[in-house]
A and B are shown apart, each in its own frame.
Chain A
Amino acid sequence: DVKVTQSSRYLVKRTGEKVFLECVQDMDHENMFWYRQDPGLGLRLIYFSYDVKMKEKGDIPEGYSVSREKKERFSLILESASTNQTSMYLCASNEGFQPQHFGDGTRLSIL
């Protein structure tokens, strides 16, 4: 069965901190994605990666960066966390153009 695992379910950080969100998939998928989910706005794509060390900006990349050193792991980095980055963050993966499989999310609060 497909498994996308996000390392933290809940995270509380302070303004200005550097924050790392980790995601691991066990399906050997080529593609991995980071979204943020906010009420009334749906899911918005932050970054995606179609291969190791390859990345592309999504719709809202400002304030974020990503790292993909290994095929199974995709990290989202908040360089200097701000309160407007308080949100639910969802990681997803897929193979080719097949449907995306999502993790259960990390609810991040920035104080």
Chain B
Amino acid sequence: QQQVKQSPQSLIVQKGGIPIINCAYENTAFDYFPWYQQFPGKGPALLIAIRPDVSEKKEGRFTISFNKSAKQFSLHIMDSQPGDSATYFCAASIWGTYKYIFGTGTRLKVLA
């Protein structure tokens, strides 16, 4: 119930491609879904977040799609660049609580 399942574990795309990372959850009480980006040797940094009252949110080349009925959300990276190569984590929390549940991470490599 408390898990967030993330896939794939790793992903390789060509420059300009659109990598998609998927997450699924069980707990319907979750109502805040952030994505974090982590470069080697650095801590995770907030990339984009969504609340379940919208089905899509865009920030620059990054888009979150949210399917409340399926309890799934995904990250799309448009026109991916080698500089996007990083590990991406999805997370879920209940707004008003302190605790985040993180996915297991996706290592993305964008080839030049």
What residues of chain A have their CB less than 8 Å away from a CB belonging to chain B? 4, 31, 33, 35, 40-45, 48, 50, 56, 58, 90, 92, 97, 99-105
Q: 1/0 per position for B14-55, CB-CB distance to A under 8 A?
A: 000000000000000000101010000111111001000000
Cβ 8 A contact of B99, one of A40, A45, A104: A45
Interface of A is mostly: strand
**B98 close to A50 (CB less than 8 A):** yes
What residues of chain B have their CB less than 8 Å away from a CB belonging to chain A? 6, 9, 32, 34, 36, 41-46, 49, 89, 93, 95-100, 102-105
Question: A41-B104, A42-B6 given as contacts; is B96 within 8 A of A97 (CB)?
Answer: yes
**A4 close to B102 (CB less than 8 A):** no
A45 to B101, CA, bound (A): 8
A-B contact sample (7 more), CB < 8 A, given A43-B102, A99-B34 = A42-B103, A42-B105, A58-B99, A97-B97, A100-B46, A102-B45, A104-B42
Question: A42-B103, A97-B97 given as contacts; is B34 within 8 A of A104 (CB)?
Answer: no
Cβ 8 A contact of A48, one of B9, B98, B105: B98
**A104 close to B41 (CB less than 8 A):** yes
Which residue of chain B lies nearest to A92 when distances are taken between CB atoms in the complex? B43
Cβ contacts under 8 Å, A45 to chain B: 99-100
A105 to B49, CA, bound (A): 22
A74 to B98, CA, bound (A): 16
